[in-house]
A and B are shown apart, each in its own frame.
Chain A
Amino acid sequence: MKQIILMGCPNVGKSVLFSRLTGVNVISSNYPGTTVDLTRGTTRIGGEKYELIDIPGTYSLEPTTKAEEVARKMLQSGDIVISVVDATHLERNLYLTLELLEMKKPTIVVLNLWDETQHLGIEIDLARLERELGVQVVPTCALCGTGIMELAAAINMAEPSKTIQPMSEEERWLRVGKLIRDTQQVHHRHHTFWDRLADITVQPATGIPLAILAILLVFLFIIEIGNALIEYVLDPFFYGLYGPGIIKAVNSFAPSGLLHNILIGTSTVEAPDFEQSLGILTTGLYVPFGMVLPFILTFYFMLSLLEDLGYLPRLAVLVDTGFHKLGLHGSAIVPTILGCGCNVPGALATRILETEKQRFIAMTLMAISIPCMAQSAMIFAILGRYGLRWILIVYLTLFVLYLFIGLILKRIVKGESPELLLEVPPYRKPDLRTLLKKTWSKAYGFLAEAVPFVILGILIVNLLYVFGIVDALSVLFAPLLTKVLGLPEGAIIALILGILRKDIAIGILLPLGMTPQQLTVACIILATYFPCIATFVVMLRELGVKAMLKATGLMVLISFSVGVLMRMILIGV
C-alpha cells in the first residue's frame, strides 16, 4: 500500500483535510502542536488503496522541536507528499513547500482556506504558481469540502517537481519572495469584528480581565451543565430505570454468593446503591457513566470551543510571564489545560516545548498537581456533599504545590528555558458540528479506556476482599496510614487501585466511612502520589527511564510530606 504524507505548517487545516480524505473521526485544532501524535488512516482513490499519514505541523524540515523531528522521519518513508498550504499566508508557507519539492518525491500542493482569500482581498494566480512550482496546485476549503474531489483525482498523477532544485536557505527565501511577487496580489480590506476581538484579547489592560472572566465562565459551564446532566438525565436513568431492572435480573440467577457480590455488591431492589455497593454492574458502570462522563462531555466541549476559536495562543501570551518563573513559557498553558481533561494527552502535548528541561518540569508538575477530569469529577462528588470548603482546600493545596515545585525545579533542573516564540492565529468562527464531533470522539475515547479499567479495578477490589488480602495489607500498612497520615487502614486499597485509575480509587474511599477531613487528606495524596498507569507509561516513553525515576521519587516524597502536613493542619496530631 502506498503511503501519502500530509505535511504543512501548524494551523493550516491539515487535520480537517485528513478527515475529509479518510472519513475518520480526527481532531483538528487551531493551535500549533495539538496534533502531536501521528494520525493514520486509509483511503481508496480510483480503485487503489492508500495509507494517509497526518504529520504534526512544522515550519521547516530542520528539526527544532520533537514534533518536527517526527515530521522529518516520517517524510522519508512516504511515497506521495501533499504539501498543505494556508492560502491566506502564502509567503510564510511556501518555504516549507520548497523544501518538500526539493526532496523530489511525487508532490501535490494544496492551497487550503481558499475561500478565505476572497474575504481578505488576496488574489493568487494558480496557473502561474503551478508553472513555477512544477507540480499540481489544488485549491481547497477542507471545512466546507470544496476541492476535495479534485485533490483525490490529482493524487494518481502526482509527480516530482521539474522546476525546483535543491538550494541553500538564502536562495530559498529569495525564491519565495519572487514567487509571491509573481503570483499574489493583495487588496485593501476592512477591519472585522474578529480583528477587534483579536486586539482586545492580547492587550494586557483588557486581555487579562477578559481571560479571568473567560476561565470563570468555562468552569461555571463545565460544573453547572455537568451537574444538570446528572440531575435530569443520568440519575433518573440509573436509579429509576437501570437499577431496579439489573438488580432483579441478577437476583433471578444469583440471589446471593460470590457472583452476586461481584456483579451488584450490596445493592437491593429497594435500595439500589451505585456509589458504595462495589459491584461491576452497579458502581462499575455508575462511576464512569453517571459520575464522570457528564463532566468529560462539558469539559471537552469547552476545550474544543477555545481551541477552534483560537483563544489558547492568546492565553499563552498573557500567562507567559508567570510561567517563566516556573522555568516554562506561555505555551505550557496548553499541556496544562489538556491535562485537566486527561494527563495522557497533556503529557504528549508537552512536545510543543523546546527543551528537555521544560518538558521535564511541565510533565512532573502535571503528574503531581493537575488532576484529570475523571479525578476532579470524583473529588467534586465525594467532597461536595460536605461543602465547597473541602473542594477548595484540595485545589488550593494542588495550586500551591504547582507554584512551589515549579519555582524549585526551575532552579535545580539543568538545561535551558527559552522564551516564547509562537504564531498567534486569527480567530475563526467555531463550527458547532465540528465541536460536537470532537466532544464525542473525546468522550468515546474516555469510555473506551475508563470502563474496562474501572470494571477491572472493582473486580480486583472484590477479589482482594474475598481472599483476605485487604486485611493483610491493612495490617501491614496500618502504622503508616493511621499513625502518620491519620487515615483508616482500609485506605490502602485506594492507594493500590489509584495506580490503575484515580476515579475508581477515590470512589472506593466512600464505603470506608471517613470524616471530611480524612477524605480531603486522602484526595490530596491520591492526586499527587503517582500518576495513573496510562500516564506513567506515556511519561516513561517521553522522558526516559532516568528522568522518570527522578520524577517518581519527587512525587512520592512530595505526596507523603504534603499528606503529613495536611493531616496536622486538618485532623491534628
Chain B
Amino acid sequence: MKNPGVFHESGVGGVPLSSLLPGEQGRIIAVGMGMGGQHHFRRMGLREGKIVTVIATQPARGPFVLDVEGAQIAIGRGMAMHILVEKL
C-alpha cells in the first residue's frame, strides 16, 4: 500500500467515522491502515460497503459504540478516525 495514512485517497466526499454523532449512519468507503490494522477491522465486520450506525459515544473523547448489521462493536475514537464513511 502506498498510502499508510489515516485513510485512502479513494474516499471522495467521505468523512471520518469519528465525526458522526449518535444516531447518525454512514456507509464505509475505506478502512485505514494505521493503528489497529485493517485486518482486524474487517474481521470484526467493519468493511467497505457496510452501513454503520453510531449507537453511543462516551464523553471525554471516549469510545464509540457502533451497530454493523445487527452486531455491536466498541471502537476507540482514534481508531474511528481511520475509517472513512459516506454520511447517509
Contact = CB atoms under 8 A, between A and B. Distances in A.
B74 A424 contact: yes
Contacts of A92: 43-45, 71
Interface string B36-48: 1101111111010
A73 interface: no
Nearest to B80: A419
Interface in B38-88: 39-45, 47, 55-63, 65, 69-79
A198 interface: yes
A192 B51 CA distance: 22
Nearest to B38: A169
A28 B35 CA distance: 31
A119 to B, nearest CB: 12
26 contacts: A62-B39, A64-B40, A89-B70, A91-B45, A92-B44, A120-B70, A173-B47, A202-B65, A204-B59, A320-B76, A321-B59, A321-B60, A321-B61, A330-B63, A330-B74, A418-B35, A419-B36, A419-B78, A419-B79, A421-B36, A421-B73, A421-B76, A422-B75, A423-B44, A423-B73, A425-B72
B42 A424 contact: no
Contacts of B55: 199, 202
B40 A423 contact: no
Interface in A38-88: 59-60, 62, 64, 88
Contacts of B78: 419
B72 A198 contact: yes
Contact of B62 (A88, A320, A416, A424): A320
- For the complex of A and B, 5 pairs with smallest distance between CB atoms: A419-B76, A424-B72, A321-B62, A59-B43, A317-B74
Which of under 10, 10 to 19, 20 to 34, or 35 or more describes the interface residues of A? Answer: 35 or more
A329 B63 CA distance: 10
Contact of B58 (A89, A91, A320, A416): A320
Interface in B1-48: 22, 35-37, 39-45, 47
B76 A204 contact: no
Contacts of A403: none
Contacts of A421: 36, 40-41, 44, 73-76, 79
B65 A424 contact: yes
Interface of B: 22, 35-37, 39-45, 47, 55-63, 65, 69-79
Interface in A472-493: none
Given A419-B78, A423-B73, 20 more contacts: A59-B40, A59-B44, A60-B39, A62-B39, A92-B43, A92-B71, A95-B43, A203-B22, A317-B56, A321-B61, A416-B35, A418-B76, A419-B35, A420-B63, A420-B74, A420-B76, A421-B40, A423-B44, A423-B74, A424-B72
A66 to B, nearest CB: 15
Most buried by B among A91, A199, A420: A420
A89 B71 CA distance: 8
A327 interface: no
B69 A91 contact: yes
A421 B36 CA distance: 8
Interface in A302-322: 313, 316-318, 320-321
Contact of A204 (B44, B47, B56): B56
Contacts of A420: 63, 74-76
Contacts of A426: 72
Contacts of A202: 55-56, 65, 72
B42 to A, nearest CB: 7
A422 B45 CA distance: 11
Contact of B74 (A62, A64, A91, A422): A422
A60 B37 CA distance: 13
A419 B32 CA distance: 15
Nearest to A172: B42
A64 B43 CA distance: 12
Contacts of A422: 73-75
A418 B36 contact: yes
A423 B44 CA distance: 8
A393 B21 CA distance: 42
Nearest to A201: B56
Contacts of B72: 198, 202, 423-426
A326 to B, nearest CB: 14
B70 to A, nearest CB: 7
Contacts of B61: 321
Contacts of B69: 91
A95 B73 CA distance: 17
B78 to A, nearest CB: 5
A317 B77 CA distance: 12
Contacts of B56: 199, 202-204, 207, 317
Interface in A391-442: 416, 418-426
B73 A317 contact: no
A313 B74 CA distance: 9
A418 B59 CA distance: 18
Contacts of B37: 64
Contacts of A64: 37, 39-40
Contacts of B58: 204, 317-318, 320-321
A200 B46 CA distance: 23
A424 B73 contact: yes
